[in-house]
Chain A
Amino acid sequence: MAVSSPEGQGQFPLPKILTYPSSTPPTLITQGAEGRVYKTTHLDPSRPCILKYRPPKPYRHAILDARLTKERITAEAHVLARCAREGVPVPAVYATDPRAGWMMIEYIDGVPVRQAINEFLGKRPETDQEKVAAEETDNVPLIELLRRIGATVGGLHGTGNVHGDLTTSNMMLRPFSTTIAAEGSKARMVEGDVVLIDFGLATQSSSEEDRAVDLYVLERAFASTHPRAEKLFQHVLDAYEKSFKKAGAALAKLEDVRRRGRKKSMLG
């Protein structure tokens, strides 16, 4: 029996690799969608890194579970390595053990983009979407972040890979090395480089369809996560369009994918 306390955290058995001595004890950062994410100094005391562990899923048929875990860790490590080579901002891969279900990657010292956007939006008084779009000047820092997201996703697609699970939870905001905005200002909250993480569902693909689905997933995740900024999403797509040669074709396909999406909620 692993855990089932109300808090859940902290009571999971550590994966074996983390039971070896290291300068500081590993800490469970989050129980993500698929795995547990630990911060550890296992490799070197001055180099914090992330250990992403995918424990067996008790609900899944054992054969299916083993297949998916292995596939995903391998895919994640491959795509991360390829992205790093091509200059897409992603954490570096340090080590993997697909059969044991873990991967060790670079620690990104920042917050998830979801959190940054929500903090930024949270500072304004309760307001409706129209107003968010109307007060354009207030939104400049947010819009700039959205443009960086679009450009980064375009960069990824340009390397012939798709992410498979684009949400604002799967992007980290790494503070610029020299900050621009004033200390404590709202703009500071959304400042930083967008670093893509969580490539477990990523695949090698240059098809317009796959790229469009990637964008569609992001568009909907964005709308449901940040309903108040939904109207600003177009800025992501605008920046995406300029980011690589085939972007226009993917955006045209996005229209198709959206239409399919609307059509399908037909039956009760």
Chain B
Amino acid sequence: MSTGTVGRKSTSRYFPPSFLKYFKRKLKWSLKKEAQSSAVTPPSAPVPPLSTGSSLTKIEVKNKHNNSFTTTTPRTHFDTADSPKMTSSNPSQKKRRIALGCEGSANKLGIGIISHDITTGEATVLSNIRDTFVSPPGTGFLPKDTAAHHRAFFVRVAKTALSTAGIPISEIDCICYTKGPGMGAPLTSVAIGARTLSLLWNKPLVGVNHCVGHIEMGRTITGADNPVVLYVSGGNTQVIAYAEQRYRIFGEALDIAVGNCLDRFARTLEISNDPAPGYNIEQLAKQGGRILLDLPYAVKGMDCSFSGILTRADELALMMKQGKKGPDGEPFTPADLCFSLQETIFAMLVEITERAMAHVGSNQVLIVGGVGCNERLQEMMGAMAAERGGSVYATDERFCIDNGIMIAHAGLLAYETGFETPLEESTCTQRFRTDEVFVKWRD
């Protein structure tokens, strides 16, 4: 690196070449998006609050959709019939397969519709609608309230996804839903919604592992072929690499997940949860950087731990509120705390990822999951990958934050290999490890 990247303004960030490629693609999507959004009416924004007296509950509607993208990765399919004109009813004439995916393992309800070209495997996002349950500052989202939110909004989000995609229901091949891991009550609410659609429209169900959804979506969007994957979200911290038909977990957090650590610290500081606590920590951290407060650094091989760091950060926050001075004799601010927290935990994440890369001999890294949106994490990872002669691949919030399209995409990949989840087995599970899934669609 020519200069240290710490504390530089975001306009002058260092990005490895792959990033430029990624931004170009992103630009392409946003152009398409603009072109399309003029033709499509976005769903009505204001939505009534939950009928229960939760006046504190703010619910926001996000309309991130109409994103088209393409991949060059060819895939194997059942039939390769290609007819000049698409007629949706005759399966032998089909040019594409379409899946609707429902996600609700945490506080985001997402429904997306994807199509895979039968001959080329090219994936196209037809719609990607999300609605986030936002809890008030200082609180986390409780399973019961989150489940109620998902139930209340399922129909609305599904309808918007369908109208945005502009396809007839008859064209949909399967209904995919998140089987796990996640919070029980919200998962169940969404599974019930998915089963209902399946029965209503007479379509097969496909249960999807949430983590595999993130990985497959990330691979497709970025074009990273066989990367080491850092999966970082509110509930998971895993370093993953593919080998012999499974996504194998090389390293993970030994206690709480990194996103959970950030979310809980946001609660300590009573930072807003809107749009996401981690996002607000990131913005605050950009104002810090005067000092680096000493936090424990806990890496064990390819594993790491965050609870000790959280405890210490909470202690420092208390000292700050009591007006105590920092190590340089000056008072410190929430921004300094957020900066120090990010610098420390992201350095740990980059370190365990680097260790996994050295171990499996790969120089590509893909970041997925909600924390993966953090630009500082992407920047640090980029600097590491560049040193190893490789590059980092990341997606923006439309895809790295939980969404329905990734469930549709991973589900459709499995469906294309002949996988279906019979209705009586369409349950959910809070614990569902990434390496439990047999990945039939890769070599």
| B1 at interface by CB-CB < 8 Å | yes
A262 vs B234: C-alpha distance when bound (angstroms): 17
- A167, B402: Cβ atoms under 8 Å? no
Residues in chain B near residue A2, CB distance under 8 A: 1, 387
Q: Assess whether A178 is interfacial by the CB under 8 Å rule.
A: no
A33-B354, A64-B344, A201-B301 given; A267·B254 CB < 8 A: no
Which one of A5, A57, A213 lies within 8 Å of B254 (CB-CB)?
A213
Q: What mask results when residues 171 to 193 of chain B are scored 1 for a CB within 8 Å of chain A, else 0?
A: 00000001011110001000000
| A: interface residue count bin | 35 or more
Select which of B181, B343, B402 is within 8 A of A61 by beta carbon: B343
B358 and A64 contacting across the interface, CB-CB below 8 Å: no
Assess the A268–B300 pair: CB atoms within 8 A.
no
| Residues on the B chain within 8 Å of A265, using CB | 181, 235-236, 238, 252, 431-434
- B278 contacts the other chain (CB 8 A): no
Take A2-B1, A4-B16 as given contacts and tell me if A33 and B430 are in contact as well, using a CB distance cutoff of 8 Å. Answer: no
Within 8 A of B (CB), among A1-35: 1-9, 30-34
Chain B residues within 8 Å of A9, by CB: 389
Distance, CA A265 to CA B251, complexed state (A): 12
A134 interface contact, C-beta 8 A:
no
Residues of B within 8 A of A201 (CB): 299-301
Q: Which of B182, B248, B299, B302 contacts A268 (CB 8 A)?
A: B182
**Docked complex Cα distance between A31 and B386 (Å):** 13
Are the C-beta atoms of B386 and A4 separated by less than 8 Å? yes
Q: Are B250 and A165 in contact (CB under 8 A)?
A: no
B300 touches A266 (CB 8 A): no
Known contacts: A59-B380, A224-B241, A268-B402. The answer to whether A261 contacts B301 by CB under 8 A is: no
CA distance A221 to B300 in the complex (A): 12
Cβ–Cβ contact A3 & B235, under 8 A: no
Given contacts A221-B359, A261-B254, contact A267 B388 (CB under 8 A): no
Closest Cβ–Cβ distance, residue A261 to chain B (whole Å): 7
Whether the pair A59, B388 counts as a contact (CB closer than 8 A) is no
Query: B217 an interface residue at 8 Å Cβ cutoff?
Result: no
- Residue contact A59 to B233, C-beta cutoff 8 Å: no
Q: How far apart are the CA atoms of A267 and B263 in the complex, in Å?
A: 14
Q: Which residues of A contact B178 (CB under 8 A)?
A: 268
Residue from the list B182, B234, B387 in contact with A58, Cβ < 8 A:
B387
Q: Report if A62 contacts B (CB, 8 A).
A: yes
- A164-204 Cβ-contact flags toward B at 8 Å (1 or 0): 11110100000000000000000000000000000001000
| A6-B383 contact, Cβ under 8 Å, with A59-B350, A63-B292 | no
- Flag whether A264 is at the interface (Cβ < 8 A): yes
With an 8 A cutoff between CB atoms, is A96 at the interface?
no
Q: Is B260 an interface residue (CB 8 A)?
A: yes
Q: Give the docked Cα–Cα distance between A224 and B228 (Å).
A: 13
Please, which residues of chain B bring their CB within 8 A of the CB of A221? 250, 301-302, 359
CB distance from A106 to the nearest CB of B (A): 21
Once the chains bind, are B347 and A169 in contact (CB under 8 Å)? Answer: no
Are A267 and B244 in contact (CB-based, < 8 A)?
no
Determine the chain A residues whose CB is within 8 A of the CB of B270 once the complex forms: none
B50 → chain A, closest Cβ, in Å? Answer: 22
> Which of B301, B390, B434 sits near A167, CB closer than 8 Å?
B301
CB-based nearest B residue for A12: B387
Among A57, A167, A227, A268, the residue within 8 A (CB) of B359 is A167
Closest to B354 in A: A33
Say yes or no for A225: interface residue by CB 8 A criterion.
yes
Please choose the segment from B2-10, B128-136, B330-338 that sits at the chain A interface, where 4 or more of its residues have CB less than 8 A away: B2-10
Chain B residues with CB under 8 Å of A166's CB are 301
Is the Cβ of A31 less than 8 Å from the Cβ of B292?
A: no
**Interface residue A68 (Cβ < 8 Å from any Cβ of B):** yes
A198 to chain B, nearest CB (A): 10
Q: In the complex, what residues of A have CB within 8 A of residue B33's CB?
A: none
CB-CB < 8 A to B254: which residues of A? Answer: 213, 257, 260-261, 264
A4/B387 contact (C-beta < 8 A), A58-B1, A217-B300 known? yes
Shortest CB distance B335–A (Å): 15
- Minimum distance in angstroms from A196 CB to a CB of chain B: 13
- The answer to whether B388 and A268 touch across the interface, beta carbons within 8 angstroms, is no
Known: A33-B355, A33-B359, A165-B355. Is A266-B106 also a contact (CB below 8 A)? no
What chain B residues lie within 8 Å of A64 (beta carbons)?
292, 297, 343-344, 347
Q: Is B199 an interface residue (CB 8 A)?
A: no
Please report A residues at the B interface, Cβ cutoff 8 Å: 1-9, 30-34, 57-64, 68, 114, 164-167, 169, 201, 213, 217, 220-221, 223-225, 227-228, 257, 260-268
Q: List 14 A-B contacts (CB under 8 A).
A: A3-B387, A6-B389, A32-B358, A33-B355, A58-B383, A63-B292, A64-B343, A213-B303, A217-B301, A262-B431, A264-B254, A265-B432, A265-B433, A268-B402
Q: Could you list 19 further interchain pairs (A-B, Cβ under 8 angstroms) beyond the known A224-B249, A266-B235, A268-B402?
A: A1-B2, A2-B1, A3-B387, A8-B387, A34-B355, A59-B5, A64-B292, A201-B301, A221-B250, A221-B302, A223-B248, A224-B241, A228-B244, A267-B181, A267-B182, A267-B233, A268-B105, A268-B211, A268-B233
The 4 closest A-B pairs by CB, nearest first: A267-B235, A8-B389, A268-B105, A268-B182
